[in-house]
């Protein structure tokens, strides 16, 4: 079945930043597919709330670190909608235990890298080839890929080195895909959130509350999933047509150098 509306796939879209992105995209008129590692019954309330927008919503349980599940995810989206206009690589994990890089384990490193970097890299490969197929079938097709990274792409945190390295790698992957897909007119962007209130950051809330109170950010508040969602929606809307490969900071001014 083919939908006449634009369709987006958001990985890790069931909560946190991913859910903020899904909410913004349905407001933009997108039909949305999203994936996560929870069973359908556990995300049914989220699906129902998103469907209240009047858009078509499709959930697929998939672990993007596993090749067979990535393939099944893309096949599921293709069966549900018949086409795909936007991929948002958002799914990511933090180390289960924050450990100094002098003590971190290879097991933690491998898990974080497979989810945060290897998964989106090869999901993008699969989707990019599908988008090229769609472009060759219709000159009017306008695809777009957006990678959600982190200020940890360039900010060193020795207590979670594997996370920083994974996000730095995804920053480079964004540039690589922007270069490779330029000939097909498919822009690739990176959205780089700062300190954002999600379940991932709940365990360090007191630490960041104190840092924000001490002036860490120019805009002295936590970021929200909705802040990131608005940035993604703006890019998806095509408001930056001459900016492929660029980074959109959503960090409250964290990255502004000051004296």
C-alpha to C-alpha distance for 30 and 25, rounded to whole angstroms: 5
**Each residue's pLDDT tens digit, 4-16:** 699 999 999 999 9
Q: What is the pLDDT of residue 244?
A: 98
Give me the CATH number covering residue 185.
3.40.50.720
Domain that holds residue 92: 7-248
Query: Residue 256 falls within a domain, yes or no?
Result: no
Q: Is 31 a domain residue?
A: yes
Does pTM surpass 0.75? Answer: yes
CB-based contact 123:64 (threshold 8 Å): yes
Task: Examine residue 57 and state whether it is found in any structural domain, yes or no.
Answer: yes
Residue 1 lies in a domain: no
pLDDT computed for residue 203 by the predictor: 87
Asked whether 218 and 252 are in contact (CB, 8 A), the reply is yes
**Per-residue pLDDT at 1:** 44
Query: Residue 147 — very low, low, confident or very high, per pLDDT cuts 50/70/90?
Result: very high
Contact present, 34 and 14 (Cβ < 8 Å) = yes
Nearest to 40 by CA among 62, 69, 8, 16: 62
More confident call, 2 vs 80? 80
pLDDT tens per residue across span 162-221: 999 999 999 999 999 999 999 999 999 999 999 999 988 988 999 999 999 999 999 999
pLDDT of residue 61: 98
In degrees rounded to 5, what are phi and psi of residue 177? -70, -35
Whether residue 257 lies inside any domain: the answer is no
Note whether residue 2 is domain-resident: no
Residue 258 lies in a domain: no
CA distances from 162 to 102, 113, 145, 150 (A): 12, 7, 24, 13
Asked if the structure places residue 255 within a domain, the reply is no
Distances (CA, A) of 27 to 50, 52, 65, 164, 201: 10, 11, 29, 32, 26
In total, how many domains does the chain have? 1
Q: Which helix (H) or strand (E) holds 131?
A: helix 119-137
Instruction: Encode pLDDT of 89-109 as tens digits.
Output: 999 999 999 999 999 999 999
């Amino acid at each position: 079945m083919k939908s006449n509306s634009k369709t987006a796939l958001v990985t890790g879209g069931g909560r946190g930043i991913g859910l903020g992105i899904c909410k913004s995209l349905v407001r933009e008129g997108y039909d949305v597919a999203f994936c996560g590692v929870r069973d359908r019954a556990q995300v049914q309330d989220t699906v129902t709330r998103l469907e209240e927008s009047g858009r078509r919503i499709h959930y697929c349980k998939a672990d993007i670190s596993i090749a067979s599940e990535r393939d099944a995810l893309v096949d599921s989206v293709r069966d549900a909608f018949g086409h795909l206009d936007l991929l948002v690589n958002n799914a990511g994990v933090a180390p289960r235990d924050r450990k100094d890089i002098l003590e971190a384990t290879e097991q933690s490193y491998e898990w974080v890298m497979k989810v945060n970097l290897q998964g989106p890299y090869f999901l993008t490969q699969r989707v990019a080839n599908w988008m090229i197929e769609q472009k060759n079938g219709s000159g009017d097709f306008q695809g777009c890929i957006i990678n959600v990274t982190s200020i940890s792409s360039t900010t060193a945190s020795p207590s979670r080195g594997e996370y920083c390295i994974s996000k730095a790698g995804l920053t480079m992957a964004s540039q690589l895909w922007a270069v490779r897909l330029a000939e097909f007119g498919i822009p690739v962007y990176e959205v780089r959130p700062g300190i954002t209130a999600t379940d991932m950051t709940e365990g360090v809330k007191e630490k960041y509350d104190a840092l924000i109170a001490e002036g860490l950010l120019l805009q002295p508040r936590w970021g929200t999933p909705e802040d990131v969602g608005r940035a993604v929606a703006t890019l998806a809307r095509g408001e930056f047509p001459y900016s492929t490969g660029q980074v959109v900071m959503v960090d409250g001014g964290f990255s502004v150098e000051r004296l």
